[in-house]
Amino acid sequence: MSQNNKTPHNKNQATFILDGKTIPFTEGQTIIQAAMASGEYIPHLCFNPEFKPHGSCKICTVTANGRQAASCTQQTQADMVVESNTKPINDERRALLQMLFVEGNHFCPSCEKSGDCQLQATAYELNMMSPHFDHFSPDRPLDSSHAEYLLDYNRCILCSLCARASSDVDGKNVFSLAGRGIKTHLIVNAKSGKLADTDFTGDDKAAHVCPVGVIIKKRVGFAVPIGKRSFDEHPISATPHPKVRDV
């Protein structure tokens, strides 16, 4: 470690530099884990601190010692120089968000998750003023078969958090990603493909991890009015561990 490192932390603790700030980390921590532990925000969607990283959305991309890496999978090394909040990186993140918006059908004004949605809040954070690209307008039917929960596939960003929660925590394998490349899509593990034909319940972890508005609890949609929701009050950067609120 360099002698002139002005870290306020225990001098035996290893540190790295994030956007000019000295951040402590422990062995094995990824960049985003160490950043979060110090209250620093790195935009992310498929990462959730409670789950193993998936590294798929690439929103959390940073440059680490000059090379681009997903900060949710890249392990921190002592004296690593990481850049996150820079114009070129934020421009690329915004382009990724714009691609997510045009690939699905994201109609925020009529979405029960609006104001609690991490996709939307991250787009606000990164000043996404338009979707820029041409819309795909895909045809993705709803699944309203379950008595308590609705699946709106139009809003899926393929983060796989529901699949990870269902397999790793609930031990059920209700959700999975099928297909490849642009044809990747969320499926429900039942012969009929319907949620009602699985053992999914509202007590499952999988019911509470969707960062967007795919897994929606029925009959409570607008109990908290638009304008009074998590990210209406604070930008997502000020809530680095956003809890998924049931809407």
Partner 1 sequence: MNMPTKSKLRIATATLAGCFGCHMSLLDIDERLFELIELAEFDRSPLTDIKTCGPCDIGLIEGGLCNAENVHVLREFRANCKILVAVGACAINGGLPAQRNHLSLSMILEEVYHAQHGLVDGFIPNDPELPLPLDQVHPIHEVVKVDYFIPGCPPSGDAIWKVLTDLIAGREPELGHGLIRYD
Residues near partner 1 (CB under 8 A)? 101, 105-111, 114-115, 120, 123-124, 127, 129-132, 134-135, 137-140, 226, 232, 235
Q: Are strands 175-178 and 215-217 parallel, antiparallel or unpaired?
A: unpaired
Nearer to partner 1, 135 or 245 (CB): 135
* Shortest distance, position 128 Cβ to partner 1, whole Å: 8
* Shortest distance, position 121 Cβ to partner 1, whole Å: 10
Nearer to partner 1, 116 or 170 (CB): 116
Nearer to partner 1, 140 or 194 (CB): 140
The candidate with the shortest Cα–Cα distance to 162, out of 244, 233, 81, is 244
Where do runs of H (alpha helix) occur along the chain? Answer: 31-37, 87-103, 118-125, 161-164, 230-233
Q: What angle do CA 119, 153, 138 make, to 5 degrees?
A: 95
Nearer to partner 1, 121 or 207 (CB): 121
Contact 154, 139 (CB under 8 A): no
Contact 40, 18 (CB under 8 A): yes
* Shortest distance, position 129 Cβ to partner 1, whole Å: 4
Nearer to partner 1, 69 or 236 (CB): 236
* Shortest distance, position 115 Cβ to partner 1, whole Å: 7
Q: What is the DSSP letter of 238?
A: G
* Shortest distance, position 21 Cβ to partner 1, whole Å: 22
